Amino acid sequence: MRSLKKLSLFLIIASVMVVAAACGGGTSKDTTGGSTNKGTTTKEISGQLVISGSTALQPLVAAAAEEFMNKNPKVSIQVNGGGSGTGLSQVSQGAVQIGNSDVFAEEKNISGLVDNKVAVVGMTAAVNPKVGIKDIKKADLIKVFTGQIKNWKELGGADQKITLVNRPDSSGTRAVFNKFALGGATPAEGITEDASNTVKKIINETPGAIGYLAFSYLTDNTVTALSIDGVQPTAENVESGKFPVWAYEHCYTKGQPTDLEKAFLDYLTSSDVQTTILPKQGYLPVTKMQVERDAKGNVTKK
Amino acid sequence: MNAKVADRVATGVFIVIAFIIVSVLIGLFSFILYHGFQHVSLKFLTTPSSNMSAGGGIRDQLFNSFYVLFITMLITVPLGVGGGVYMAEYARPGRITNIIRSCIEVLASLPSIVIGLFGLLMFVTLTGWGYTILGGALALTVFNLPVMVRVTEDAIHSVPRDLKEASLALGITHWHTIKTILLPSAFPTILTGGILAAGRVFGEAAALLFTAGLSTPRLDYTDWNPFSQISPLNIFRPAETLAVHIWSINTQGLIPDVDAVSNGSAAVLILSVLLFNLLARWIGSLIHKKVTATK
Amino acid sequence: MVTEMKDYTPNIEVQKENILNVNNLEIFYGEKRAVNGISMDIEENTITALIGPSGCGKSTFLRSINRMNDLIPGAFAKGEIIYEGLNILSNNINVGALRKEIGMVFQKPNPFPKSIYENITHALKFSGLKKKSQLNEIVEESLTKAALWDEVKDRLHESALSLSGGQQQRLCIARTIAMKPTVMLLDEPSSALDPISNAKVEELIVELKNDYSIVIVTHNMQQASRISDKTAFFLNGDLVEFDQTEKIFTNPSVKKTEEYISGRFG
Amino acid sequence: MTYFRGVIFFMEKLVPAKERLLKSQKNWMNGEVRGKIIVFICAIIMISATIAITIFLGTKGLQSFIKNGVSLIEFLTGKQWNPSDQAKPQYGALPFIFGSFTVTFLAALIAAPLGIGGAIFMTEIAPSWGRKILQPVIELLVGIPSVVYGFIGLTVLVPFIRVHFGGLGFSLLSGMIVLSIMILPTITTIATDAMSSLPKTLREGSYALGATRWQTIRKVLIPAAIPSLLTAIVLGMARAFGEALAVQMVIGNVKTMPHSILDASGTLTTIITLNMGYTTFGSPENNILWSMGLLLLIMSFAFILLIRYLSSRRKI
């Protein structure tokens, strides 16, 4: 008897939730658009912002969002992961307001989005510390990754077989590394991992392993970051344009950003974020870059 | 003589197999608990996680895990029990029953990643909800439902036929018999099965990656209005569960204490599953006693 | 209470009305025919025993009287069983209402896993009887009629499963009595019990005859001859012989019946 | 007797038989039909969920063949996988299909004897205490999240294999060990049910003929239970085939065909998880991942058909 009542109660709750779901989805979007458009000149910003995309960028945006929400208590920002492709798809569908991406939208054949570059990420090849190499010529790096050099001793390192640790084909990190470190060469087959921490762990544990990582993962000495052609992988060298392997982190909006979006994007590029949160997470401030790059990879002095 | 030797050898082999299974579990558990317990503390459980600095906890993730589980069970239990009752009591052998049974089996054997993809398409994109607890719970429902149906069906089948006949012979209708005789008698078994299924839901990550998302908005635990954006009870917010948290910090996390947090989380997860198990046994036997003895 | 029944002699002088008329009843399990067109009349306030070897169709017949065969997938019946002027095999019969009037007690005691009290009241409550005082009255009345009241009156709220087998069976009978049926169908009600419980249940059945029409299936020939007024002998789905119990056991008109009763087969 | 009659409830008897005993509109209201409809809806939901999943994955998964013009033959038999190449994308998923099947079969190869052995231990060797110990163990193994399996595999198993067996450690072997532990509970549970549902008479008959326990198990019990045991293995394999996160961490995810058990490999599931986030909806490289998802779904159906076939054999 009682169990039936519970059962029907459950059913009712479930159906109510489904109904609420339909309504809830609709209303939450309305408030976003409505409230942001209204609050034009007033200082107090309010509304809701949904962001998704690049898992690499997520921690940064999430940290900045937290600060931003502390300063503007009426604002609610949700930062989701999902990957660059997801972020780009969702922002162009209008499912989210901001889409985070490691790559130019053009590279994924998506157009009609407004690019907001919020950070720069430098990356370099990293090897197992026992390999005994700290510097590598770009030509050699290409040979290593294309499989022409198979043992580290050919480059004066330890007598260890080279193990490549790649990123998935569609990964932005892989695209950048191939383009700017390998000169567009396609790397030979190797272990493929998507996650930076896993890649780092593999490089650290596998003798003779080489992979590539963002500077943010190269803070300790569990793996050795390689200089390329004698240029050290440092923030200064990237900013001055000497170290070529880097990429923008983008926050895309669909059309010109609305007030709330603009306020948040401005905050992301403000010195507050650029000089405090960014460096802590190993990103380079986009504001300090002395060079610029477009979607096709052409680099120009600012 | 030979047969006897073979018998002894075979017995030995079976004991070794049992021993291997037990030691695999003990090995896994002690590994996880040994590595994890150094980091589990009250503070670890009650601090929100951090995106960049060390010392983050798992407060929100822990809550999310239980909340997602709760919502999932809220949807699954009535549907699963209803489906199980249908299969056990109403389904007549025939084409429709065959189709339903095939559907249950297909749902049960679907890879969780396929369910995650389906959830992404259906509950995230198509509905326009984005990553939500509800989306995650619905995706988990897809793979928990067949388990619940099977548990209920088996439980009802294990109720002695006599009881059903007794009730029907007194002129009580079939539905009322199900409600008042079959389901109460099957309840301990359903409960145990349900709690065990809950353990599996609790640790699921692949399906949730694509549906409930990888982040948790700032939560205010004093806000109990389920429609408020910052309320933990809001089912239209993204929620990173414990299992997803382990996955995400291990893959992308920038915090310096990745190992500590993930080991600690794993230990908490395992302990919760252990708890579910003990709870299932305890409550099951308790209710069994209560139902058969005096009410 | 009527007492002249105590001596177990069938009362044949009184002219009784038929409560059930079975006409050309056939019962099938899918393709297989289990009962082959039987016809018989069952009198009110009479104990009718159905005997015969296993698989002869007597239980199938019994279960068709309150439509319990509906539970078996593929089972269906042809012909008619007339009760109160209606063919109870017909599709428009409200089976629930029918079973309230034609109750059944099974071979194995099957009390609900509830308290003794609830075992009795469960079906009453379903029928819409909610008043506590009425329920209490009926519980006492039916348990008294089932000769169980004195044994359980102090533990009505204990689990029915704590009773002994014989007590459980009497509880099941009480549960059926509580519905105040017209006909009671008993499917080997004492075969799973020890001799003492068996005796008690038999005594009870004879007692019940005053208020109900009873149809009992039994394997126990002595039981049939001890308690029943009329006996029907079934064999391979056929009703071989149906007559006064005395006649069946002393001077059967069919040879098969005699062989069965004298234990030559079965 | 008198007050018995007085109860209104029993006055029903005074109502004519037709009104008492015939079905009426009231039956529709008394919950019988309503209840049946409720539970039927629950069952329908399951059908619709399955259909929805099939339709969604079907339409998404077929797009790469219909819209992007990928050849199905290439997808199933090509060995070159390079979907993000702008100039000349290649969609050969054979290495992953091969990897999925291989690692699944290998995992079943370990888990089947262990699982069935465990089941026999529980039902035949030590039915009393063996079950008490093994049953909770099995249930706890189910509860360990796959992420945790993967991580232990990565931290413990992979280095162990690299040091003791050679190779990179990321290999079919690692994947197979991790998977075999993950599917062990599935196989053991179903095999235990199968063994314990065998009629007692089988055992008694065999023992009565003087057979030893092992002879009984081998000659009588296992042959009798074989369709169910195979079902257990197939269900375990279905689970292994679809497992993603744990395998991804230990198998290496390479795009080439493995040549030995110590070679790294890739599976359908790992390629999906690795690339799904990076690709944009509707792009060819995204669609081809959905095609792989569809392939996983089709495999689920195939496993079910196989189980169906096995259980139909059981009846004979």
- Tens-place pLDDT, residues D211-265: 888 888 888 888 888 888 988 999 899 889 988 888 988 888 888 888 888 888 8
* CATH code of the domain in which B256 resides: 1.10.3720.10
Q: How many CB pairs under 8 A join B and D?
A: 249
C3 occurs within a structural domain: no
* The pair of three-digit structure tokens given for residue A224, joined into one six-digit string: 């050795």
Q: What is the pLDDT of residue B291?
A: 65
B148 in a structural domain: yes
Q: Residue C2: pLDDT band by 50, 70, 90 thresholds?
A: very low
Which of C62, C122, C186, C187 to mutate to probe the B interface, most B CBs <10 Å? C122
**Residue D106: which residues within 8 A CB-CB, separation 6 or more?**
D172, D175, D176, D180, D261
Is residue C7 in some structural domain? no
Is B152 among the domain residues? yes
Q: Does C133 touch chain D (CB under 8 A)?
A: no
Specify the pLDDT at position C62. 92
C104 contact B CB<8A? yes
Q: pLDDT, tens digit, for every residue of D252-280? A: 888 888 888 888 888 999 888 888 878 88
- Tell whether A15 is within 8 A of chain B (Cβ): no
Whole-prediction pTM: 0.82
Q: Is C187 on the interface with B (CB under 8 A)?
A: no
- Asked if residue C151 lies in contact with residue C197, where contact means CB atoms within 8 angstroms, the answer is no
Helices D222-242 and D172-196, packing angle to 10 deg = 140
Report the pLDDT averaged over residues C24-42: 90
> Over the stretch A190-248, which tens digit does the pLDDT of each residue have?
888 877 888 888 898 888 899 999 888 888 888 999 999 989 998 889 888 889 899 88
Token couple for A141: 């790096």
CB contact under 8 A, A95 and B251: no
Residue C234's pLDDT band (cuts 50, 70, 90): very high
C214–chain D Cβ distance below 8 A for any pair: no
pLDDT at residue number B210: 81
* Architecture of the structural domain at D90-312: Orthogonal Bundle (1.10)
pLDDT at D14: 61
How are the residues of chain C apportioned to helix, strand and coil, as percentages rounded to the nearest 5? Answer: 40, 25, 35
Contact B294 C123 (CB under 8 A): no
State the Cα–Cα distance between residues D147 and B245, nearest whole angstrom: 10
pLDDT of residue D131: 83
Judge whether residue C258 has pLDDT over 80.
yes
Res. D98: pLDDT tops 90: yes
Kindly report, residue by residue over D3-42, the tens digit of the pLDDT: 343 344 444 556 676 777 777 655 555 677 888 888 889 8
Instruction: For chain C, give the mean pLDDT.
Output: 86
Q: What is the C-alpha separation between C35 and C236, in angstroms, rounded? A: 8
Instruction: Tell if the CB–CB gap between A11 and D282 is shorter than 8 Å.
Output: no
Establish how many alpha carbons lie within 13 A of residue A241's alpha carbon, considering only the half-sphere containing its beta carbon: 11
pLDDT at D141: 84
Binned at pLDDT 50, 70 and 90, residue A42 comes out as very low
Task: Kindly report the backbone phi and psi dihedral angles of residue C38, in degrees, each rounded to the nearest multiple of 5, phi listed first.
Answer: -100, 155
Report the domain count for chain B: 1
Rounded Cα distance between B171 and C1, Å, is 28
Q: What is the distance in angstroms between the Cα of C232 and the nearest Cα belonging to chain D?
A: 27
What is the three-state SS of C14-42?
Answer: CCCCEEEEEEEEEEEECCEEEEEEEEEEE
Q: Is residue B219 a part of any domain in this protein?
A: yes
CA pair distance B30, B33, nearest whole angstrom: 5
D316 CA: distance to closest CA in chain B (Å): 18
* pLDDT classification of A13: cutoffs 50, 70, 90: low
Q: What is the pLDDT of residues D31-68, one digit of tens each?
A: 778 888 888 898 888 889 889 989 988 998 898 898 88
Which tokens in the block code for residue D15? 């109502």
Domain assignment present for B27: no
Is the Cβ–Cβ distance between D304 and A230 less than 8 Å?
no
B169 domain-assigned: yes
Name chain A contacts of B179, Cβ cutoff 8 Å: 1, 3-4
Using a CB-CB distance cutoff of 8 angstroms, which residues of chain A are in contact with residue D83? 169-170
Q: What is the pLDDT at residue D187?
A: 92
Residue A125's pLDDT is: 92
Question: In chain C, which residues have their Cβ closer than 8 Å to the Cβ of B184?
Answer: 113
Of D84, D256, D277, the CB nearest to A169: D84
- B29 assigned to some structural domain: no
In chain D, what percentage of residues exceed pLDDT 70?
92
- Residue A35 in this model has a pLDDT that exceeds 70: no
pLDDT for res C5: 44
Q: Measure the CA–CA gap between C214 and C229, rounded to whole angstroms.
A: 10
Q: Judge whether C2 lies within some domain.
A: no
- Chain A residues whose C-beta sits inside 8 Å of any chain D C-beta: 8, 11, 55, 81-86, 88-89, 93, 108-110, 163, 168-172, 175, 186, 189-194, 198, 201-202, 205-206
Residue B32 placed within a domain: no
Long-range contacts of B217-223 (CB under 8 A, 24+ apart): B217/A76, B217/A77, B217/A78, B218/A66, B218/A69, B218/A76, B219/B48, B219/B60, B219/B63
How far off is chain D from B64, nearest CA to CA, in Å? Answer: 16
Contacts of B48 (CB under 8 A, 6+ apart): B56, B57, B59, B60, B219
- Residues in chain B with pLDDT < 70? 1, 51-53, 229, 252-254, 291-295
**Per the domain annotation, does C125 fall within a domain?**
yes
* Minimum distance, in Å, between the CA of residue A199 and any CA atom of chain B: 8
For residue C49, pLDDT over 90 is answered with yes
Whether the CB-CB separation of B191 and B152 falls below 8 Å is answered with no
A28 versus D277: the higher-pLDDT residue is D277
In the 8-state DSSP scheme, what is residue C215?
E
Q: How far is CA D125 from CA B10, B26, D119, D184, in A?
A: 10, 22, 9, 19
Residue ranges of C 120-159 with Cβ closer than 8 A to chain B? 122-123, 126-127, 157-159
**Which of A3, A191, A199, A200 is best to mutate for the D interface (most D CBs within 10 A)?**
A191
Residue B190 sits in which domain range?
A: 40-292
Confirm whether C252 is domain-assigned: yes
Provide the residue range defining the domain that includes C253: 18-261
| C189 found inside a domain | yes
Chains near A, with 3+ CB pairs < 8 A? B, D
| Helical ranges in chain C per DSSP H | 58-65, 95-101, 116-126, 132-145, 149-152, 165-178, 195-208, 221-227, 245-250, 255-261
Q: What pLDDT, on the 0 to 100 scale, is given for residue A111?
A: 81
Q: Is residue B113 part of a domain?
A: yes
The count of domains in chain C is: 1
Class of residue C91 by CB neighbours under 10 A (exposed 0-12, middle 13-18, buried 19+): exposed
Domains and CATH numbers, chain A: 47-120+245-301 (3.40.190.10), 122-240 (3.40.190.10)
Comparing C-alpha atoms, which of D162, D166, D175 is closest to residue D102?
Answer: D175
pLDDT of residue D107: 95
Helices (H) and strands (E) in chain B, counts: 12, 0
CA distance B254 to chain A (A): 7
Cβ–Cβ gap B251/A196 under 8 Å? yes
Other CB atoms within 10 Å distance of the CB of residue A175: 20
The domain ranges of chain D are 2-66, 90-312
